[in-house]
Amino acid sequence: MWRHHTDQNSRWPLALRFIKGAIHAAIILPVALHAAFAVVIVALDHNVQDLGLPASIIPSLSIVVGLMLVFRNQTSYNRFWDGRNYLTVIITSVRNLTRSFLANSHRFPLSDRSETERIIRILIAILYATKNHLRAEWGAEIIPGTAISPSTGDATLTPEYSDLLPRGLYGCDDRGLGLVLQLTFFVEQYIKKGFDQGWFHAPQASQMQVQLNSLVDAYGRMETIRLTPIPIAHLIHQKQVLALFGGVLPFALVDKMNYWAIPVVSLVMFTLYGIDGIGSQLEDPFGHDRNDIKMDFIVEDIRSEISVLLEEWKRAGQVGHDMFVRKRQDSRGRDGGGHDINGVH
């Protein structure tokens, strides 16, 4: 469903895009500094003294740079891909639990149906809580409809929570308990209640428990990605090696290329810093950057999907039919059971 929210700016070829989705803004400064350094080296070489170095030093340095960039980008993309897969696991678990809860309760009495609807809303809230937890946006359960901004510490509006969280819920973020894990207790209690009252038989309840455990497991793995950055020693050395390579490159090119060394150095460093910048963005895939996982769109689409299921479940309970089935009308506009499908009795 979320394909409708993907980037529609396809009028320009990707090779000609320099703003939306591109990394150029993040790398323009180091590339410009290397270009300026190349200008200085070329000017000194022509006007003061020969500064050229043997070009044979470039291949050995380029191998090191290439290996480090490949490692960085592969590691970062694996984090991005794993994060997306774990989000899919959470969504699949929510879908399966929603389907099981609704399919087994659409003929329940009103009091039990209200409990089922409450749990379905909590399942939707788990999706939002996962998204906000990974973005360090806390406090939605403290003041309904708000969360605490990680950058300013101020309360920010999060209207998705306004009608999803259980009444009277109090948060434990300040004591280290995330809202996601807190909400799963309500789901597990509902499963136990359903088993005790005979709503679900033992294999059904066991499978629901497996789905809930899979959800918590995927949440923990996403948390690991968010809280375990690439080691700082690797990042420091990579930046230093890139700077060293860009600093040596003008000396190796100036003798044979003269002033052409300036644009060549700029293009080479643009390429290398661009690869490094992409890896830096993909390292934490849960944020708000354009290249991050589209968590806002994905969660909103799943909420819409579950809302349709919930509305259909309510309709089926009111008219006493199965979900997604409308019985054929007779000449008086009534179905085979004598019920008016328009709700008029």
The half-sphere exposure of 25 on its side-chain side, counting CA atoms within 13 A, is 9
Amino acid at 286: F
pLDDT digits (tens, 9 = 90+) for 52-91: 788 878 888 888 888 889 988 899 999 999 999 999 999 9
Please, are residues 323 and 102 in contact by the beta-carbon 8 Å criterion? Answer: yes
**Band of pLDDT at residue 136, cut at 50, 70 and 90:** confident
DSSP helix/strand/coil, 148: strand
Mean pLDDT, the chain, rounded, equals 81
pLDDT digits (tens, 9 = 90+) for 292-326: 899 999 999 999 999 999 988 888 777 667 777 77
Nearest to 188 by CA among 210, 172, 168: 210
| Two structure tokens written together for 110 | 């009103």
Nearest to 306 by CA among 6, 86, 93: 93
| Calpha distance 305→307 (Å, rounded) | 5
pLDDT digits (tens, 9 = 90+) for 186-199: 999 999 998 888 88
324 Cα distance to chain centroid:
32
Please, are residues 147 and 158 in contact by the beta-carbon 8 Å criterion? Answer: yes
Which of the pair, 207 or 333, is modelled with greater confidence? 207
Say how many C-beta atoms besides its own lie within 10 A of residue 305's C-beta: 16
pLDDT digits (tens, 9 = 90+) for 238-252: 899 999 999 899 998
| Two structure tokens written together for 98 | 């929603």
**Band of pLDDT at residue 4, cut at 50, 70 and 90:** very low
Q: What are phi and psi of 334, to 5 degrees?
A: -110, 150
| Two structure tokens written together for 207 | 């499978």
At 159 the pLDDT is 56
Q: What is the bridge-based pairing of β-strands 155-157 and 146-148?
A: antiparallel
pLDDT digits (tens, 9 = 90+) for 221-231: 999 999 988 88
| Calpha distance 99→145 (Å, rounded) | 27
pLDDT more than 70, % of the chain = 78
Specify the DSSP class assigned to residue 340.
B
330 Cα distance to chain centroid:
50
Please, are residues 105 and 287 in contact by the beta-carbon 8 Å criterion? Answer: no
